Amino acid sequence: MTEVLKLQNLSKAFPVGKRLFGAPKGTVHAVQPLDLSVQQGETLGIVGESGCGKSTLARMLVGLIPPTTGSIEIDGKPLDNADPAVFGRRIQYVFQDPISSLNPRKTIRQVMEAPLKRLHGMDKAQRDRRISEIFDSVNLREEFMERYPHEFSGGQAQRIGIARALAAEAKILILDEPVSALDVSVQAQVLNLLADLKAKLGLTYLFISHDLAVVEAVSDRVAVLYFGSVVEVGKAEDIFRAPRHPYTRLLAESAPVVGRPLAAPEGRETELPDPLNPPQGCAFRARCPFAQGDCAAAPPPLAPPEGHRVACYHPLN
Amino acid sequence: MKKFFQLLLRNRLAAAGGVAICFVVILALITPLLPLQAPNVTNTANRFQPVFAEGHLLGTDHLGRDMLSRLLWGTRLSLAVGFSAAIFAAFFGAAIGIVAGYFGGRTDNVIMRGVDMLMAFPYILLALAIVAALGPGLVNALIAVAAVNVPFFARNIRGVTVGIAHKEFVDAARLAGLSDTRIILTEILPNVVPVIVIAMSTTIGWMILETAGLSFLGLGSQPPQADLGSMLGEARSALITNPHTSVVPGVMILIIVMGINLLGDGVRDALDPRLRSGALTRPMAATVVQRKGAVPAPHAGGVLTMTDLETQFHVGPRIYKAVNKVSLNVAPGECLGVIGESGSGKSVTALSVMGLVASPPGVIVGGSIRYKDEELIGARYTTLRRFRGDRVAYIFQDPLATLHPLYKVGDQLVEAIRVHHPVSRAEAWKRAVELLKQVRIPNAENRASTYPHEMSGGMRQRVGIAMALANDPDVIIADEPTTALDVTVQAQILSLLDDLRRERGLAIVFITHDFGVVGQLCDRVAVMYAGRIVEEGPTDAVLAAPAHPYTRRLIACVPELGEGRRRLEAIPGLPPAVDRLEPGCAFAARCTKKEAACVTREIELARAGPRAVRCLYPETDLSREAAE
């Protein structure tokens, strides 16, 4: 097993209330400094609720937004996001909304040709051959090639999105909520396709979703994000069955499961902390039934360094 | 393109404007070929000849020059200057707007503040200043008019570009290795062109007028060269004695500007995607009812009973059978789940109850919906309105879209109460605060005075529920109320709804695509596919032993938490389009148990005890199950 993706001390802060001159009025720490690594051929699931920073993290990884601190290493080499033509070949992204990620005024062939031309400098004959290869592998018919995006259903459009990411021949794919815009019957088709492609092409996935059951079904390991920080990382089969962080347990108990009686697992009026005015210490403290005095002192570190890691002073057993 | 011309020609005024402007343009183009007199040859002996004078169809001017010839040559010049000014303004304005909108941040700030400063000057003053600096002359007037109009284009195009630059396909292009220049040229520009065309079509007339204005002041075309503005200017002194010298160029300007503006408005209406979708035709207050055949007798009791409901969308020649003979009923204190994928007709079913399906294109063509003993299909609008929100209330998926952004949530609740009950404002406000407490909004007194955008998604949906409860209804129809929410918030909202129905005996129709939610909240469930109910029964029984193959496979393809990593059961293919339904079972094409009999005739919903299934070869034998 080799480490293909390594994040060290990676964080992102957005200035709020920008002015033409002078300092902004405040900053929102969308992603707190975090360390994560992904092994070759692994699927790392990232779950969290809206506003937890999972999309910001994903967009940093593909260079769409520059990180505030920290570094991203791919295959041991730092990711340089100065030249899109270089990092596009190393890491690619599949978007959440399949239709809006395709330019409405370009045919599917034009969409597919862009990465082949710009990233790999292929000539026309090579491109045509490669496109039919890729289309074949994502079960799309070649007659789709001359059509425009609005003519496709969500599932087909998402397969085109995956095909475009594959065209770059990157070994790492960031999948940002790739199935949440799809119907359940189509969702399963796309998830299975992703699993097949991974096995066939030896890909590594970072699978981001708010749907715990989907993440559990496709991932080897899962990282749980809360308020911009990783609060727990562990094997997919363990993390929701035997959560160690109180927040992970809350998530697992909130997910609707057939046969489990309905009960709100926590007080009914809790809300996320204010990002402009973050709480001291552990961000989950206010919602946590196990919070004690020491939780307010400093944010708990993610420990131990290997295996099932949890950022909590009083983890569950 | 063909559609564009069809839309354009449907607009009579635009077509008339188009004909007028085409005529003028053709006339201007063929002017050099016409047997006209020289426009600039003076003949003072022949000055101020009236219209229809011999040899001078439109008379002569103060120097005895032929008016017809000067008019056509002048029109030619004015059109050329107007069009070129529009093209220059559009080109530079669009370039500035795209650069500012695409790069954003400080670039945008600096450029747009500069543009704002240009716009702060009165346009004619600015044009005069430019011409004063460059000196009079037609080319300089053209530059001035173009420069004055650049800010208009820049602002318009920048606004559109900002929207496009944040679309995901632009990010995707960047990841495909495209440089900024290429992204602007191949991704942004094609999406901005329609806006540029719209802006141009509505401003060309204006620019021709401005050029004429400068020429009128003697700053544009110089004598003896004629354009429409300078002709007017020269005729000014003879306005009273020889009005035809000013009327002739004046009428031409009127025709040109009117023609271009009418055509431009037509082009805008035909190109603008917001207007094309039919948004111009406002939906009616209640769904149109065109019921053929008799009102069916209600198939069951309950506070709300739908029997053989048929709702269709009539779009051009196509008929989409969105809801195809659906029968449902719900009793007080009961929660009925309606489950299905997008396009299965579950939302249209819900909206049909209170006649909220947008018409056009929605039409209710058959069936019966009864609230207690009152028939709702075909009921008078006043009756429907009395029931809406009072007896039958809705909760929608996106509370941000259903709450008015400019009113405080308390005021919106007050309005909902006072529409149906003649109470004072203070009393209604007290009730509103009480409602917010009932949906467990912390600090309800203060929260009532906040605006929707100041609340989190979960809090907003609570307000949505409070609004539905405002008049103590008997039935609540909840259309995917938790789909947009996080799981922890979803759990809170679901348990709130569950408490409410137990405390108040509310009947809830809960529309969702999530079996987990149905399993936890609903007593009974109806599964919809392609506009029909394919299975119905008590939730536990249906989930434990689904009878329809679609239900079984739909349950199988949803991963459930706690089962670990696995391969999911997918259903290959797509649901059928509801405007081209084949006879028989709509699921047959995707079903593994399909037989010839499945697609030869309509399949009835077979009832057995509390359960029902629309399948010839069900997974579970319901009649045997019912007997046991």
Q: Is residue B19 domain-resident?
A: no
CATH number of the domain to which B105 belongs: 1.10.3720.10
Q: Is residue B423 domain-resident?
A: no
Rounded to a whole number of angstroms, the distance from the CA of B200 to the nearest CA of chain A is 21
- Residue A75 region by backbone torsions, left for phi larger than 0, else alpha for psi between -120 and 50, else beta: left
How far apart are the C-alpha atoms of B56 and A35, rounded to whole Å?
89
Enumerate the domain spans of chain A. Answer: 3-257
Query: Would you list the DSSP string of B2-66?
Result: HHHHHHHHHSHHHHHHHHHHHHHHHHHHHGGGS-PPPTT---GGGTTPPTTBTTBTT-B-TT--B
pLDDT digits (tens, 9 = 90+) for A233-257: 999 988 998 999 999 999 988 888 7
* Nearest Cβ partner for B178 among A118, A191, A195: A118
Does the pLDDT of residue B290 top 80, yes or no? yes
Task: List the helix and strand counts (H, then E) for chain A.
Answer: 9, 11
Burial group, residue B580, by CB count within 10 angstroms (0-12, 13-18, 19+): exposed
C-beta contacts of B33-41 below 8 A and 24+ residues apart: B34/B72, B36/B66, B36/B68, B36/B69, B36/B72, B36/B73, B37/B66, B37/B68, B37/B69, B38/B66, B38/B69, B39/B65, B39/B66, B39/B69, B39/B70, B39/B73, B39/B74, B39/B226, B40/B65, B40/B224, B40/B225, B40/B226, B41/B65
Name which of A40-49, B269-278, B339-348, B365-374 the model is least confident about.
B269-278
- Dmax (CA) of chain B: 117
In chain B, which residues have their Cβ closer than 8 Å to the Cβ of A254? Answer: 487-488, 490-491
Does the pLDDT of residue B41 top 90, yes or no? no
Close Cβ partners of B628 (under 8 Å, ≥ 6 residues apart): none
Structure-block tokens of residue B166:
């944040």
Q: Quick one: pLDDT at residue B368?
A: 92
Q: Quick one: pLDDT at residue A204?
A: 95
Whether A220 has its CB under 8 Å from any CB of chain B: the answer is yes
Sign of dihedral through CA atoms B277, B281, B284, B288? negative
**Fold exhibited by the domain A3-257:** Rossmann fold (3.40.50)
How far apart are the C-alpha atoms of B382 and B380, rounded to whole Å?
5
% of chain B at pLDDT higher than 90: 41
Instruction: Quote the ipTM score.
Output: 0.88
Whether A241 has its CB under 8 Å from any CB of chain B: the answer is yes
Close Cβ partners of B166 (under 8 Å, ≥ 6 residues apart): none
Band (B560; pLDDT cuts 50, 70, 90): confident
Nearest CA in chain B to A194: B567
Look up the domain containing B149 and give its range. Answer: 67-279
C-alpha to C-alpha distances, B384 to B356, B370, B499, nearest whole angstrom: 10, 12, 28
Q: Quick one: pLDDT at residue A44?
A: 95
Stretch B457-461: mean pLDDT: 84
Question: Hey, how many other C-beta atoms are within 10 angstroms of the C-beta on B325?
Answer: 17
User: Terminus-to-terminus CA distance in chain B, angstroms?
Assistant: 65
Band (B28; pLDDT cuts 50, 70, 90): very high
Q: Is residue B409 domain-resident?
A: no
Token pair 């506003």 in the structure block, residue: A51
Stretch B467-474: mean pLDDT: 90
Does the pLDDT of residue B110 top 90, yes or no? yes
HSE value, Cβ hemisphere, 13 Å, CA-based, for B492: 23
Close Cβ partners of B23 (under 8 Å, ≥ 6 residues apart): none
pLDDT digits (tens, 9 = 90+) for B564-608: 777 888 888 888 888 888 888 999 988 988 888 898 888 999 998
Which stretch of DSSP H or E encloses residue B156? helix B138-165
Q: Quick one: pLDDT at residue B389?
A: 87
pLDDT, chain B, mean: 88
How far apart are the C-alpha atoms of A18 and B558, rounded to whole Å?
44
Q: Quick one: pLDDT at residue B275?
A: 56
Close Cβ partners of B624 (under 8 Å, ≥ 6 residues apart): none
How far apart are the C-alpha atoms of B294 and B292, rounded to whole Å?
7
CB contact (8 A) between residue A183 and residue B341: yes
Structure-block tokens of residue A32:
């707190």
Angle ∠(B570,B575,B577) on CA atoms, nearest 5: 165
How far apart are the C-alpha atoms of B382 and A11, rounded to whole Å?
58
CB contact (8 A) between residue B568 and residue A192: yes
Close Cβ partners of B396 (under 8 Å, ≥ 6 residues apart): B402, B464, B479, B480, B481
In chain A, which residues have their Cβ closer than 8 Å to the Cβ of B570? Answer: 185, 188-189, 191-192
How far apart are the C-alpha atoms of B536 and B604, rounded to whole Å?
13
Q: Quick one: pLDDT at residue B279?
A: 47
Q: Is residue B217 domain-resident?
A: yes
Band (B277; pLDDT cuts 50, 70, 90): very low
Residues facing residue B306 across a β-bridge: B328, B369
Q: Can you list the alpha helix ranges (DSSP code H) found in A20-173?
A: 54-61, 84-87, 108-120, 124-137, 154-167
Whether B570 has its CB under 8 Å from any CB of chain A: the answer is yes
- Residue A66 region by backbone torsions, left for phi larger than 0, else alpha for psi between -120 and 50, else beta: beta
Structure-block tokens of residue B471:
């008049």
Closest by alpha carbon to B207, among B273, B148, B275, B151? B148
Q: What DSSP character marks residue A292?
A: -
Structure-block tokens of residue B542:
């249906």
Closest by alpha carbon to B344, among B311, B367, B302, B295? B311
In chain B, which residues have their Cβ closer than 8 Å to the Cβ of A187? Answer: 557
Q: Is residue B124 domain-resident?
A: yes
CB contact (8 A) between residue B487 and residue A255: yes
Whether B488 has its CB under 8 Å from any CB of chain A: the answer is yes
Q: Is residue B112 domain-resident?
A: yes
Does the pLDDT of residue B621 top 90, yes or no? no
Question: What residues in chain A have per-residue pLDDT under 50?
Answer: none
Residues facing residue B537 across a β-bridge: B525
Nearest CA in chain B to A221: B565
How far apart are the C-alpha atoms of B99 and A171, rounded to whole Å?
34
Q: Is residue B231 domain-resident?
A: yes
Token pair 């030249």 in the structure block, residue: A83
3-state secondary structure (DSSP) of residue B372: coil
Number of domains present in the structure of chain B: 1
Whether A237 has its CB under 8 Å from any CB of chain B: the answer is yes
Burial group, residue A156, by CB count within 10 angstroms (0-12, 13-18, 19+): buried
Rounded to a whole number of angstroms, the distance from the CA of B383 to the nearest CA of chain A is 37
Band (B272; pLDDT cuts 50, 70, 90): low
Q: Quick one: pLDDT at residue A272?
A: 66
Whether A176 has its CB under 8 Å from any CB of chain B: the answer is no
CB-CB contact of B228 with B174 (8 Å): no
Whether B335 has its CB under 8 Å from any CB of chain A: the answer is no
> How many residues appear in chain B?
628
pLDDT digits (tens, 9 = 90+) for B302-360: 899 999 999 999 887 888 999 999 999 999 999 999 998 888 899 999 999 999 988 87
Structure-block tokens of residue A45:
């699931």
Close Cβ partners of B300 (under 8 Å, ≥ 6 residues apart): B327, B329
CB contact (8 A) between residue B176 and residue A259: no
CB contact (8 A) between residue A251 and residue B106: no
- Which residues, numbered 496 to 555 in chain B, qualify as contacts with chain A under a Cβ-Cβ cut-off of 8 Å? 496, 498, 513-517, 519-521, 543, 553-554
Q: Is residue B130 domain-resident?
A: yes
